[in-house]
């Protein structure tokens, strides 16, 4: 009888120990899955608008720019070539309408086709802005010599590329080129030409 009691005691002890290990393993798996989902959510990919302006398209820089984009970890989600008219350009750059350079900006942006792309990457807006460099291509050549504007831009107007300056601008600009813009959509300002 005592052997039987010892056997039962050992069995209960071993079974309890295994149960604790199984519960512990289950908790670790749950924590791992939960933390992975939090990490995945924090690494959500952004989309931003990238435009190669007429001087970039006509200067045959598009292949080189796309190569740099891809090598920098971006995915080109969508792209199209478009010829902007004066009305489209005035709408896209509406926040600059009161500035002295507005008419020359319209003339420049309608002088040839543009390549419009939706780029996708974690931190896409900021990374694209860093890759293109300062608005003034002359400054970019000195301060950011490996930037896209240093590679193919001429000055602050003919600077080869455009990049959204915020997620809100990116959403508006992507909608402008790849969807119909609703008539009640507010045009928000951005600093970028």
Question: In 3-state terms, the chain is what percent helix, strand and coil (to 5)?
Answer: 55, 15, 30
- The CATH number given to whatever domain includes residue 85 is 3.30.70.141
Same-domain check for residues 60 and 36: no
Per the structure, the count of domains in the chain is 2
- pLDDT at position 179, please? 84
- pLDDT at position 44, please? 82
State the catalytic residues: 162
SS3 state of residue 84: coil
Sheet of strand 75-82, all strands in order from the earlier edge strand to the far edge: 75-82, 114-121, 46-52, 161-163
Same-domain check for residues 97 and 162: yes
In a domain, 189, yes or no: no
Are residues 164 and 190 in contact, defined by beta-carbon separation less than 8 angstroms?
yes
Token pair 């690494």 is at which residue? Answer: 43
Are residues 61 and 140 in contact, defined by beta-carbon separation less than 8 angstroms?
no
Q: Which residues contact 191 (CB under 8 A, 6 or more apart)?
A: 135, 165
- pLDDT at position 11, please? 53
- pLDDT at position 190, please? 42
In a domain, 184, yes or no: no
pLDDT along the chain (193 residues), means of 10: 56 54 48 46 81 96 97 97 97 93 95 98 97 96 96 93 96 90 41 52
Same-domain check for residues 23 and 118: no
Same-domain check for residues 27 and 121: no
Same-domain check for residues 128 and 91: yes
- Find the domain containing 22 and state its range: 1-43
pLDDT digits (tens, 9 = 90+) for 99-116: 999 999 999 999 999 999
Measure the CA angle with vertex 154, ends 150 and 159; round to 5°. Answer: 75
Are residues 150 and 133 in contact, defined by beta-carbon separation less than 8 angstroms?
yes
Task: Tell me the angle at which helices 167-178 and 124-132 cross, rounded to the nearest 10 degrees.
Answer: 90
CA 185 to chain centre: 22
Same-domain check for residues 83 and 163: yes
Same-domain check for residues 26 and 121: no
Same-domain check for residues 15 and 56: no
Same-domain check for residues 92 and 154: yes
Same-domain check for residues 53 and 9: no
- pLDDT at position 123, please? 97
Q: How far apart are CA 72 and CA 191, in angstroms?
A: 23
Same-domain check for residues 5 and 90: no
In a domain, 190, yes or no: no
Are residues 150 and 144 in contact, defined by beta-carbon separation less than 8 angstroms?
yes
Same-domain check for residues 1 and 25: yes
pLDDT digits (tens, 9 = 90+) for 156-184: 989 999 999 999 999 999 999 998 444 44
CA 10 to chain centre: 61
């Amino acid at each position: 009888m005592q052997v039987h009691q010892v056997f039962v005691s050992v069995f209960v002890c071993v079974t309890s120990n295994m149960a604790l290990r199984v519960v512990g393993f289950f908790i670790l798996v749950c924590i791992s899955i939960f933390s992975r989902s939090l990490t995945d959510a924090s690494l959500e990919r952004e989309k931003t608008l990238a435009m190669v302006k007429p001087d970039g398209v006509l200067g045959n820089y598009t292949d080189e720019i796309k190569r740099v984009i891809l090598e920098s970890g971006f995915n080109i989600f969508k792209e199209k070539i478009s010829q902007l008219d004066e009305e489209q350009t005035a709408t896209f750059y509406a926040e600059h309408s009161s500035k002295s350079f507005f008419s020359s900006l319209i003339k420049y942006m309608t002088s040839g086709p543009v390549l419009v792309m939706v780029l996708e990457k974690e931190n896409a807006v900021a990374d694209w802005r860093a890759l293109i460099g300062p608005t003034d291509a002359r400054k970019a050549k000195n301060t950011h010599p490996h930037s896209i504007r240093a590679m193919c831009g001429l000055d602050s107007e003919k600077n080869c590329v455009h990049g959204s300056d915020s997620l809100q601008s990116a959403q508006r600009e992507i909608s402008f080129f790849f969807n119909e813009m609703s008539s009640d959509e507010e045009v928000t300002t951005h600093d970028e030409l």
